[in-house]
Structure 1
Amino acid sequence: MKICELFQMKKVFSFEVFPPRRIDSVNIIYDTIEKLKGLNPDFISVTYSAGGSESNADTFKIASAIKNNYGIESVAHLPSINHTKVEVLKILEDLRTAGIENILALRGDVNPSFSPKNDFKFASDLISFIKEHGDFNIIAACYPEGHFESPSIIDDIRNLKRKVDAGANQLITQLFFDNNCFYSFRERAAIAGINIPIEAGIMPVVNKKQIERIVALCRVNLPKKFLAIMNRYENNPEALRDAGIAYAVDQIIDLIAQGVDGIHLYTMNNPYIAHRIYEAINTLLVA
């Protein structure tokens, strides 16, 4: 099923998981998916880590299992920076064979260990290519606070419009901690004529290292309320976990009240956190 169709019927609720980094941890991801299945997600997306072709195989194997073994719609992440057009054509054929209809089309981050290919300079190039060579539902990433490489917020929206014009059917945001950033972004998108569904990406922060990694990689704004909570409980792991979950729940409740199209939860492969959040917001999703 093309998951863009779900937005016409309901408020979409979905998860993201990532392939295990160690071979001996491979069974853990399937245990995680089994536990997430009970929460009835509309889909589960599988990230593509920066490990070359081996990560490619892991991503598509897990996405195929989600769809064909667990009966949940899956989304395969596809960053193009390290792929040629010939390689992407092979990936599209493999996805078709596995029955996967949904792709999150990304440029991808530059990895110093790999020389980037030049076939797809931007995500919009990949989106156009997928549109030309297959009947897939194409998801694009968007950035409520602007991509850190964009010269300005206006340039970032222009780039997003190019993705939509190239054929993106829906959007998922990068994580954010200030809902006002999302509401401002949604307004800018509407002004630019972007009228496809936008799912809000929410990441529950449950430890100090996670906060530091997020700030370094994503360069998102950390509101005073968030910082106060994190500073208060940084030396109490259990309290910090619970506070991070509560903050994410508060975000989601506000987003649903403001008419968000859907919630995409970055689970970090932690089904306990997903369960806690689902229990808190389940009735709101169908209200």
Structure 2
Amino acid sequence: MAPGEAQLKEEWSALPALLENYSVELTARDRRSVADVAAHLQRGVEVFVANLPNESADVLVEAVTALREAGLVPVPHIVARNTRHAHELDETLGRLVKEAGVDRVLVLGGDRDDPVGEFTSALQLLETGLIQKHGIRKIFLACYPEGHPRISDTVLQEALKAKLAAAREASLEVTLVSQFVFDPKLVVELAKWLRANGIEAPLRVGVAGPADRGKLIKYAIRCGVGASLRILKERGELAKNVLAGETPDELLGEIAEAQAYDPSLGIDGAHFFTFGDPVKSARWVEGQR
């Protein structure tokens, strides 16, 4: 067997273990995707639900309730810059818990330039105490293998440490979810940085699900995934698969191999940015497990 074939076999053998935990993401107002995942995903899969700027809580609660009733585990986004005040946060969390049985949320600062109210950061949301007040005990926090297009690495790192400290003080269980990348080495480097800095929270790696090439590139540039796009130019086969909207075999295979070789990395599953087709990503995952 050629060396390359041996490496590919090793990556693939590690892939099912990495995919033991996976999640998909959709927007609350995308009713077709909500209906699709409710009909086709296996029970117990986590589905992250984004609430977009200026979207009412009713839309979010309706989507999350539909997912819960289908046996899925909804993870609504709670976004600081989309939240007007503490009363609104309190009311929204209360409805999500009481009407949809929510027990975990993704806490974000948000990307809008001008916040709608008093909150500008995820840390401020955590410091209200409202998340644990409503019985939520698990949260997800975002991290960025390539950095953030508007925030320096130093500020990002210090903000993450502050959020983790606040979560620890509130007895909240934390999982980190990364922005999607196309270069597996960046994920491994992030995991090594986390562990070297005493951060033990598991890391779920963000992955672009199959999508139209133009849509994928546009979204990647907007999210600051430029370095990964440059990497694709140097890696022909990976670029061919990713930009053709094919499955992320090679990308996740390399990450799975790194985790299998060094379990201390703490890379625990994959989170799929699905670009309007969450079922396609989920079907690929189920075929690997």
**Normalising to structure 2: TM-score of the pair?**
0.77
Q: CA deviation at 1:91?
A: 0.8
Q: Residues 231 and 165 of structure 1: is their aligned pair in 2 closer, same or farther, counting only changes over 3 Å?
A: closer
Q: CA deviation at 1:117?
A: 1.3
Q: CA deviation at 1:59?
A: 2.0
User: Where do 1:100-119 residues align within 5 Å?
Assistant: 100-110=102-112, 116-118=116-118
Given that residues 253 and 281 in structure 1 are in contact (C-alpha distance below 8 angstroms), is that contact kept between their aligned partners in structure 2? no
Q: 2: CA distance between counterparts of 1:90 and 1:109?
A: 23
Q: 2: CA distance between counterparts of 1:30 and 1:223?
A: 30
Q: Residues 240 and 105 of structure 1: is their aligned pair in 2 closer, same or farther, counting only changes over 3 Å?
A: closer
The one of 48, 72, 81 aligned to 2:51 = 48
Aligned partner letter, 1:17? L
Aligned-partner SS, 2:180: coil
Q: Residues 49 and 229 of structure 1: is their aligned pair in 2 closer, same or farther, counting only changes over 3 Å?
A: farther
Q: 1: CA distance between counterparts of 2:268 and 2:238?
A: 32
Alignment gaps of 5+ in structure 2: 1-18, 260-266
User: Where do 1:35-114 residues align within 5 Å?
Assistant: 35-38=39-42, 40=43, 42-53=45-56, 56-67=57-68, 69-83=69-83, 84-98=85-99, 99-110=101-112
Q: CA deviation at 1:189?
A: 1.2
Q: Residues 230 and 252 of structure 1: is their aligned pair in 2 closer, same or farther, counting only changes over 3 Å?
A: closer
Aligned-partner SS, 1:258: helix
Given that residues 15 and 264 in structure 1 are in contact (C-alpha distance below 8 angstroms), is that contact kept between their aligned partners in structure 2? yes
For 1:174, the equivalent position in structure 2 comes to: 179
Aligned partner letter, 1:51? N
Q: Residues 231 and 249 of structure 1: is their aligned pair in 2 closer, same or farther, counting only changes over 3 Å?
A: closer
Q: CA deviation at 1:280?
A: 4.6
Q: CA deviation at 1:128?
A: 2.5
Aligned-partner SS, 1:149: coil
Residue 222 of structure 1 pairs with residue 223 of structure 2: no
Q: Residues 142 and 49 of structure 1: is their aligned pair in 2 closer, same or farther, counting only changes over 3 Å?
A: same
For 1:121, the equivalent position in structure 2 comes to: 120
Q: 2: CA distance between counterparts of 1:15 and 1:272?
A: 9
Q: CA deviation at 1:240?
A: 7.5
Q: 1: CA distance between counterparts of 2:95 and 2:38?
A: 24
Aligned-partner SS, 1:71: coil
For 1:251, the equivalent position in structure 2 comes to: 251
Kindly provide the CA deviation profile for residues 214-264 of structure 1, in whole angstroms up to 9, marking residues without a partner as x.
Answer: 23311112355634659987xxxxx887x4323x22212222222221111
Given that residues 123 and 166 in structure 2 are in contact (C-alpha distance below 8 angstroms), is that contact kept between their aligned partners in structure 1? yes
Given that residues 76 and 105 in structure 2 are in contact (C-alpha distance below 8 angstroms), is that contact kept between their aligned partners in structure 1? yes
Q: Residues 82 and 43 of structure 1: is their aligned pair in 2 closer, same or farther, counting only changes over 3 Å?
A: closer
Q: CA deviation at 1:275?
A: 4.6
Q: CA deviation at 1:141?
A: 0.9
Aligned-partner SS, 1:31: helix
Residue 34 of structure 1 pairs with residue 27 of structure 2: no
Q: 1: CA distance between counterparts of 2:44 and 2:253?
A: 17
Q: 1: CA distance between counterparts of 2:41 and 2:242?
A: 26
Residue 142 of structure 1 pairs with residue 143 of structure 2: yes
Q: CA deviation at 1:73?
A: 1.2
For 1:202, the equivalent position in structure 2 comes to: 207
Aligned-partner SS, 1:261: strand
Q: 2: CA distance between counterparts of 1:32 and 1:138?
A: 25
Q: CA deviation at 1:185?
A: 0.9
For 1:184, the equivalent position in structure 2 comes to: 189
Number of equivalent positions: 253
For 1:5, the equivalent position in structure 2 comes to: none
Q: 2: CA distance between counterparts of 1:13 and 1:163?
A: 23
Q: Residues 48 and 192 of structure 1: is their aligned pair in 2 closer, same or farther, counting only changes over 3 Å?
A: same
Q: 1: CA distance between counterparts of 2:238 and 2:182?
A: 15
Higher RCO (CA < 8 A, seq sep 6+): 2
Q: 2: CA distance between counterparts of 1:240 and 1:12?
A: 22
Root-mean-square deviation (CA), in Å? Answer: 2.7
Given that residues 207 and 240 in structure 1 are in contact (C-alpha distance below 8 angstroms), is that contact kept between their aligned partners in structure 2? no
Residue 266 of structure 1 pairs with residue 273 of structure 2: yes
Aligned partner letter, 1:19? A
Q: 1: CA distance between counterparts of 2:231 and 2:76?
A: 34
Q: Residues 275 and 72 of structure 1: is their aligned pair in 2 closer, same or farther, counting only changes over 3 Å?
A: closer
Q: Residues 30 and 42 of structure 1: is their aligned pair in 2 closer, same or farther, counting only changes over 3 Å?
A: closer
